[in-house]
Amino acid sequence: MRKVLHWFAMLAIISIGIFLFSCGEKPEDLSKKIEELSNKNAELTKENTELKEKIAELTRKIEGITTIIQAEELQVGFVYVSPIGDAGWSYAHDQGRIYIDSMDGVTTSFVEAVVSFANSPPAPVVVIPT
């Protein structure tokens, strides 16, 4: 009985060794993976640096716009295509206008029930210099 257990234990150890050896990767496969991961790391590092530069640039632009806005009172105009009433699209926009009007340094004005024509020229676009 002891010999059977001894042979069974030896067979189990040999089987585990063969299993572990056959599952392992060859050194050349590992070196390829290391090279691929190194290249991917270099790409991600470059992309990270580029994104940090873009964030810094956008932060500078936002600070510039904030300075312009803080320098003078902001005047905002609203044009509604229907009467304001107590429900609907124009009412919801007017609620936003009222909230904005309560802010310091902001003045709002509005015109309601403005007729729109199909051949009307497009509205002018206001650009804040940076």
Domain shared by 4 and 51, yes or no: yes
Task: Identify whether residues 57 and 99 lie together within a single domain.
Answer: no
Residues 47 and 92 in one domain: no
**6 in a domain, yes or no?**
yes
* 108 φ/ψ angles, rounded to the nearest 5 degrees: -120, 155
Task: Give a yes or no: residue 122 inside a domain.
Answer: no
pLDDT tens readout for residues 82-108: 888 877 888 999 999 999 999 888 889
Domain co-membership, 17 together with 37: yes
3-class DSSP state of 6: helix
In a domain? residue 130: no
Q: Which range, of 1-5, 12-16, 31-35, averages the lowest pLDDT? A: 1-5
The whole domain housing 90 covers 73-117
Specify whether 57 is located in the same domain as 97: no
Q: Are 6 and 61 in a shared domain?
A: yes
What is d(CA 97, CA 55) in angstroms, rounded to the nearest whole number?
31
65 and 6 part of one domain: yes
Number of domains making up the chain: 2
The answer on 109 and 61 residing in a single domain is no
Predicted pLDDT at 118: 65
Question: Mean pLDDT for the chain?
Answer: 80
In a shared domain, residues 80 and 113? yes
pLDDT at 129 over 70: no
- For residue 111, the surrounding DSSP H or E stretch is strand 106-111
For residue 70, give the nearest of 104, 101, 99 by alpha carbon. Answer: 104
How far is CA 24 from each of CA 3, 10, 28, 57, 75, rounded to the nearest angstrom?
32, 21, 12, 48, 70
Q: Is the pTM of this model over 0.75?
A: no
DSSP state of 122: P
Is residue 101 within 8 A of residue 74, CB to CB? The reply is no
Residue 31, helix vs strand vs coil: helix
63 shares its domain with 26: yes
pLDDT tens-digit series, residues 46-88: 999 999 999 999 998 888 777 766 667 788 899 888 888 877 8
